[in-house]
Amino acid sequence: MSPPRDWISEFKADPRRSGIFLDFDGTISDIAPAPGGAGLHPRAAELLPGLARRYPLCVMSGRRAADVASLAGLAHIHYVGVHGMEWMEEEPRIDPEVLPHLPTIERAREELGAALPGLPGVTLEDKLITVSLHFREVPGEEDEALRLAEGLAMRLGLKVRRGRMTVELRPPVDIDKGTVLIRLAAAWRLRRALYAGDDLTDVDAFRGLRYMMKEGGFEGVAVAVLSPEVPIELEAVADLTVDGPDGLLDLLSRL
Ligand SMILES: [Mg+2]
């Protein structure tokens, strides 16, 4: 795929109908070893407030919405969390479709917690709506962590999602970054949008852009933020690639 030729001029000429959607970790932050350790890239902190004044701007993360909102710490941005399953208003709001599944997620959290002593170095992240195992510190435990998560998902009727050195159990609902992008693009009456991300869950958002383009009257620009760990699936379906968060910020500074 390739982006429309003059997409930067088109964004600048019609900013209210041009959306900017950004993943957080590894996209406008640097990837940190622990889930709590990432921070907004200093250049993003400088650039995004100006962009948010001109363009509808949404940051979409796998983190809790309140977590990503406080890490980014910028106003006038729509924060979406847990891959689309919650978002910030005055308070965080969980998608109503997700609510009936919360007790099952709690059960998964208890069972994973009980199994954790057998997986030294693997950490559990509880996001209420989903529960994840992280094995960045102990890549050798990947197979065992995956086997555990997949077995539990099958038994409890949950979905499994792979990420970079992580596996997540989530409710069996069809909500992802792509479905949320489609909903927001319609609500904001966008004619074009850029989405930038660095991980497998960002492929969903790229798919959302393609869906809007097929519907017609919409241009999408899918940007893969490259790093040594970037999944080939993401790079393969991107319109543009940039070199890390710095490369993305160079691109965004042209808007
Ligand atoms: Mg990311």
Q: How far apart are CA 192 and CA 7, in angstroms?
A: 9
Half-sphere exposure (CA, 13 Å, Cβ side) for 20? 31
Give the residue range(s) of CATH 3.40.50.1000 domains in the chain. Answer: 15-92+176-252
User: In this structure, what are the phi and psi dihedrals at residue 152, rounded to the nearest 5 degrees?
Assistant: -65, -40
Half-sphere exposure (CA, 13 Å, Cβ side) for 207? 13
pLDDT value of residue 122: 95
23 CA → ligand 1 middle, Å: 6
Tokens of 22: 């950004």
Percent of the chain at pLDDT > 90 equals: 85
pLDDT tens digits for 69-115?
A: 999 999 999 999 999 999 999 899 999 999 999 999 999 999 999 99
Please state the rounded mean pLDDT for residues 129-139: 93
Does residue 30 register a pLDDT over 80? no
* CATH topology for the 15-92+176-252 domain: Rossmann fold (3.40.50)
Please state the rounded mean pLDDT for residues 223-239: 91
Q: How far apart are CA 153 and CA 105, in angstroms?
A: 10
pLDDT value of residue 231: 84
58 CA → ligand 1 middle, Å: 14
Q: What secondary structure does DSSP assign to 60-85, as a single string? A: E-SS-HHHHHHHH--SS-EEEEGGGT
Of the pLDDT bands very low, low, confident and very high (cuts 50, 70, 90), residue 255 is very high
Residue 198 a catalytic site member = no
Q: What secondary structure does DSSP assign to 130-174, as a single string? A: -EEEE-TT-GGGHHHHHHHHHHHHHHHT-EEEEETTEEEEE-S--
Of the pLDDT bands very low, low, confident and very high (cuts 50, 70, 90), residue 34 is low
pLDDT value of residue 38: 76
142 CA → ligand 1 middle, Å: 19
CATH homologous superfamily of domain 99-170? Trehalose-6-phosphate phosphatase related protein; domain 2 (3.30.70.1020)
Packed helices 142-156 and 102-115: angle between N→C axes, nearest 10 degrees: 140
Q: How far is CA 206 from the centre of its chain?
A: 11
pLDDT value of residue 164: 77
Does residue 37 register a pLDDT over 80? no
pLDDT value of residue 222: 97
Does residue 32 register a pLDDT over 70? no
pLDDT value of residue 200: 86
Please state the rounded mean pLDDT for residues 138-163: 93
Residue 81: Cβ within 10 Å count = 26
Of the pLDDT bands very low, low, confident and very high (cuts 50, 70, 90), residue 36 is low
164 CA → ligand 1 middle, Å: 8
Q: Which of 6, 14, 23, 95 is catalytic?
A: 23
pLDDT value of residue 211: 97
Q: Is 228 exposed, middle or buried (0-12, 13-18, 19+ CB in 10 A)?
A: exposed
Please state the rounded mean pLDDT for residues 5-15: 94
Of the pLDDT bands very low, low, confident and very high (cuts 50, 70, 90), residue 181 is very high
Give the residue range(s) of CATH 3.30.70.1020 domains in the chain. Answer: 99-170
pLDDT value of residue 194: 98
pLDDT value of residue 1: 59
Q: Which residues contact 243 (CB under 8 A, 6 or more apart)?
A: 226
161 CA → ligand 1 middle, Å: 14
DSSP H/E element including 21: strand 18-23
Please state the rounded mean pLDDT for residues 34-41: 72
Does residue 219 register a pLDDT over 90? yes
Q: How far apart are CA 214 and CA 255, in angstroms?
A: 25
